[in-house]
A and B are shown apart, each in its own frame.
Chain A
Amino acid sequence: MPLYAQRLLFAVGLVALAAVLIEIGFTVAATTHGSQPARVVQVDAGPYPLRVSLYTDPARAGFAVPFAIAPVGQPGGLTFAVTSRPGPGVSATKVNDGVAADASVPGGVQGAAEVPVQGTWFLDIAVDGPLGRATTDVRFEATAPPAIPEWLGWIIGFVPFYGLIGFLALQRPRRRTAMSPA
């Protein structure tokens, strides 16, 4: 392979590596709670009034949505189970979202909702407390970047095969014994 082609390939590799590292950074950053919620919703789960904070709104499909749930007028004693539920027409399944205690809010919890597909989603919240078990949900939208044409997707998807076939096509026998299988 000519030296300039090797250097071009190396440059492409560096760009790809940088893209992977940036993507990892974005994915990690998506799970962290910002200082200000993007949207705050007051809901009642049966006898329990709750304040639900979403830290991205609309959510970005493919990334987690950080959220926090705080009981209103209830010092504690509540336990929460949270599920992301796809709305009608969204090709996805329910996802159980883990929650952990929110150190800044007494009795509150925080977590990150998984939203793998664009469309309407619901954050289903099940609360257990001294007044029994109750549920509620919070609707939110998840958006994705604009769709690239399918043919362009296929052109990109076949990149490893162009690389392999190009690399093999460049091979030329250098000695007679290499022509036939061992």
Chain B
Amino acid sequence: MTGRAARRAGPPGSQGRPPGIWRSPAAARLRDTAAAGLLAALIIAWAAVPAAGARPGTRITIIIAVISAIASLGRLATADAQVGGHAFDTLPVRAAAQAIMATKFLPWSEILIVAVLVLEALHQHGAWHAGVLGVAVLAYLFAVHLGESGTRLRALAPQLPVLAAGLGVLVLAVAAAVLPQLTGGPGELLRVLAVTAAVVAAALALPVTRR
């Protein structure tokens, strides 16, 4: 039984260090992390540039965004890593274990999202600028989700109609924002409320249409 199977497995020379039988998920993890990293860099750059002439608080928001981006990427890259945990670990191993623990301490992706939206709000770009940022942030969220759950892109297929509807509403909102502005404060507020109401109405209507 077992002896024959073991002999088939090869000579005992490779004892203790059997070759991996399954493709290492490291490559997929690296690809997902790289995609999320690129998108994170893109959304920070898009929301932060130009840094000069922005309102106060821009610099600290950029710093927060960069730190949270790095930490969220670290968390994504080291999701499966098991470093340290033994009594006699060396100093670098213990430091690495602490660093990995730190990435899991706070919801860095959420902080990044809030930071880039605040950055965008601190700048006086056009409405289309915020629209593009919204699409990029969404792409970043899905990249992080795919990386975390280890699922493939096709797992998102059921969400595509809803996502398309959401992007449609986003385009409508941006279009509403670039329309010639009404004069006075009450008109502007009215416009914001109208767009918000449109978003909520679409959200309420969607589950009915889905079924």
A in complex with B: no
Residues of B within 8 A of A (CB): none
Residues of A within 8 A of B (CB): none
